[in-house]
Amino acid sequence: MSDTRQINLHVFRHNPLDPASVPHLQTYQVEEAPGMTLFLALSELRERQDPSLAFDFVCRAGICGSCGMIVNGRPRLACRTLTQELPGDITLLPLPAFGLIADLSVDTGTWMRAMTERLQAWLHPADPTLDLSRIEQRMEPQLADEIYELDRCIECGCCVAACGTAQMRKDFVGAVGMNKIARFGLDPRDARSDADFYELIGGDEGVFGCMTLLACHDVCPKELPLQTQIAYLRRRMARAGA
Ligand code: SF4
Ligand code: F3S
Ligand code: FES
């Protein structure tokens, strides 16, 4: 018996810059190979069948965060998803909440930049003239580990795509934004107080707009502890705003 099977990829196609383009699903057949990822299936498809297909990738290793897409209804990284884990019919859609570039390619960068600037998601040392690349400070290994854990976010956008609140509110910072504030809130080198963080995230566009749907936690490909961080941040901001 053959180990390989034909998989049917039903792929969203649309070019928003082409007035004649009508959004639709296009079906392709690809022969599955052992260990094949969705990224490899799409690459083969683009090389052998349809060079016009648009999708994003850089690292192929779950690091750059550029290959997020909706796979049979769930946000995932194409480069970290084995086709063997999926049924023979696979529907691929672009991540919602982000601007569509074409087909499966979306502009997460503009969204992430706007969120980062809005939340000032960078280190704010007490002395702003310090050279940030040279700040070294002793800290407990456990605290360093906790900060590192949250720093593993690759800004893939899967948590935003999975979040009902983010689909309804364009100004919602999403789990990715709340994770950033939680991260800087832990960092002893950051001079901001809880009152400062409350100004940034203590409204409906932040922790109090989150409806605890927790899809973010379920889909994060880096398995960040988003549920714990959001609950912790909410308690902290409730105290800061009281
Ligand atoms: Fe992606 Fe997880 Fe970061 Fe959200 S928190 S952007 S799902 S890595
Ligand atoms: Fe959305 Fe996650 Fe909150 S899915 S509503 S950010 S718990
Ligand atoms: Fe970089 Fe998938 S290609 S995360």
Q: What is the pLDDT of residue 128?
A: 78
Q: What is the pLDDT of residue 1?
A: 52
Q: What is the pLDDT of residue 242?
A: 75
Q: In 3D, which of 64, 238, 215 has the Cα closest to residue 154?
A: 64
DSSP label at 137? -
Whether ligand 1 lies within 6 angstroms of the CB of 150 is answered as no
CB 53 within 8 A of CB 46: yes
What spacing in Å lies between the alpha carbon of 233 and ligand 1's midpoint?
17
CB 176 within 8 A of CB 96: no
Domains recognised in the chain with CATH numbers: 6-106 (3.10.20.30), 120-241 (1.10.1060.10)
> Tens digits of per-residue pLDDT, 115-156?
999 999 999 988 777 777 776 778 899 999 999 999 999 999
> Tens digits of per-residue pLDDT, 153-193?
999 999 999 999 999 999 999 999 999 999 999 999 899 99
Whether ligand 2 lies within 6 angstroms of the CB of 210 is answered as yes
Q: What is the pLDDT of residue 136?
A: 74
Q: In 3D, which of 69, 231, 86 has the Cα closest to residue 161?
A: 69
What's the rounded mean pLDDT across residues 39-57? 97
What's the rounded mean pLDDT across residues 27-34? 96
Q: In 3D, which of 87, 35, 95, 27 has the Cα closest to residue 65?
A: 95
> Tens digits of per-residue pLDDT, 98-108?
999 999 999 99
What spacing in Å lies between the alpha carbon of 241 and ligand 3's midpoint?
39
What ligand 2 atom has the least distance to the C-alpha of 162?
4
Provide the residue type at 138 as one letter.
R
Task: State the angle between helix axes of 141-151 and 174-186 in degrees (0 to 180), rounded to the nearest 10.
Answer: 160
Q: What is the pLDDT of residue 127?
A: 79
Q: What pTM value is reported for the model?
A: 0.94
Largest CA distance in the chain: 68
**Can you name the residues that pair with 11 across neighbouring β-strands?**
26, 92
CA distance 60 to 162: 22
Q: What is the pLDDT of residue 135?
A: 66
Q: What is the pLDDT of residue 71?
A: 98
Quickly list DSSP for 44-100: HHHHHT-TT-----SSSSSSS---EEEETTEEEEGGG-BGGGS-SEEEEEPPTTSEE
Q: What is the mean pLDDT of the chain?
A: 95
Sign of the CA dihedral 130, 240, 139, 180?
Answer: negative
What ligand 1 atom has the least distance to the C-alpha of 68?
1
**pLDDT tier at 3 (50, 70, 90 boundaries)?**
low
**And the tokens for 159?**
């948590």
Q: Residue of the nearest CA to atom 6 in ligand 1? A: 155
CA distance 114 to 4: 44
Q: What is the pLDDT of residue 43?
A: 97
Q: Residue of the nearest CA to atom 5 in ligand 1? A: 176
